[in-house]
């Protein structure tokens, strides 16, 4: 997925988006590919296997929390 698409889809400023993506890359959740298309720089991101596992674990926690509400005393 290209940086330009993320910006349009999420609505963050380029600076904020860049910061978030850099942190995900540093954590090993994304891989980054920088290239040129028609002499213009293009940055693409792809979820890594580690990122996919983390995302799936997060999704399971969220679903479990919604399906099984917390007990009240």
Over residues 18-34, the pLDDT tens digits come to 999 999 999 999 999 99
Task: Please indicate whether residue 51 or residue 72 has the higher confidence score (pLDDT).
Answer: 51
Residues whose CB falls within 8 Å of the CB of residue 47, separated by 6 or more in sequence, listed in order:
29, 30, 31, 55
Domain 3-67: assigned CATH number: 1.10.10.10
Strand partners, 36: 41
Q: Does 69 score more than 70 pLDDT?
A: no
């Amino acid at each position: 997925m290209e940086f330009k698409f993320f910006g349009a889809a999420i609505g963050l400023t380029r600076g904020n988006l860049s910061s978030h993506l850099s942190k995900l890359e540093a954590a090993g959740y994304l891989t980054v590919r920088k290239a040129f298309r028609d002499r213009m720089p293009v940055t693409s991101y792809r979820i890594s296997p580690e990122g996919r596992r983390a995302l799936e674990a997060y999704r399971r926690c969220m679903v479990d929390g919604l399906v099984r509400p917390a007990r009240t005393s």
